[in-house]
Structure 1
């Protein structure tokens, strides 16, 4: 695990109020689960989930009747345990700590690899998605959601208006994912409104998403207050550019 991934894992381990603040994450997970439920999967698929968090996607998939043999993973041990507590023990569900970018899962190949809003934390998400295709069984599917560079545009614009750079992580361009499979890519903008800038920043920290871009230095308090005031004048809306990627391994491949 890299130092940055360890930092991200610590941030999510401390996100004890995740479920109450992660409204977008819950909605995106449910939408992804509906897409997966429409696939032609085996009756008892082998499933790998990366970045399970507290279990939004896992629970939604089970509610949609996706059974089988599961390996449910996250980079943060605390999140793995919270997902286990949400779902309960079962012989068909294994839980493990896994760095989905630099680690390798056990028990493959898989009929389904899924992940909801985790790959944006990878150092090279498109390359990692390409490698995941090798973990699929013939006929298998990989469906993931991640964030595109249009995410948090309003917060970055508030910084730019003050001549400053925001600390939002760098998100891989949509074109990089389209190069993997351009016919199976969906880009949607989801907008969330916060009461004020303080509520937005608190929500990010509460879900463990406060890790800044590498090399970013926190703003001095006076500069941050100016950015917050500019952000509030733009009605406190925050855009999430949600990129849904679907990779498929052909039978016989």
Structure 2
């Protein structure tokens, strides 16, 4: 056995290894994270070693993300506000346009009614004037002629239609063509004449145009193929539904001599 076996060693006992780690992390506003490392690799009474590490990358990215989220929220709110303003303006414009349209339509309708009323009044005045004229003409059946009896009745009816319109195919009471007027006049005395000029030109006894009597039917064109008829009312005049431009008028035979005449009275 060694003589030093029981002699305590003069070397200091090696302290056991120990390590201590502390980690501190903070976020928001540039908080620093600190890692403290203490190692006992040296003597037991060695001072601890401390090291501080910054983590700026994490903090900057988080701040950027937060700011981006805030900006996006503000932009959405702004877009919604602008959209609401646009919708309100469009609604107001539509209401204004609707009111303007309704007002224009109301004015147009009022103008239309006023014009219709004015036309109706003018037509009523014209009818009243014509009726008055017809009454006067009906009472004066002997004017420009010595017609009596049936002939006077025929002439009176014809004169009562003066001023009526000429319309091809019309049969009264306010518009006529030439043959319908002649037919209606002779119907007043119970004579039923054919409807068209061709047939009326051969409906009675043929007479010469130099020996006419009041009430004779005048025709233009050939007998049986006449294209126009009228009635002789005396003094070289006749009454007929002339054409669309003249209507029912009294005319002078010298200006438009008839081709022939027939007598039915």
Greater relative contact order (CA < 8 Å, ≥ 6 in sequence): 1
Fold-level similarity (TM above 0.5): no
TM normalised by structure 2 equals 0.22
TM normalised by structure 1 equals 0.23
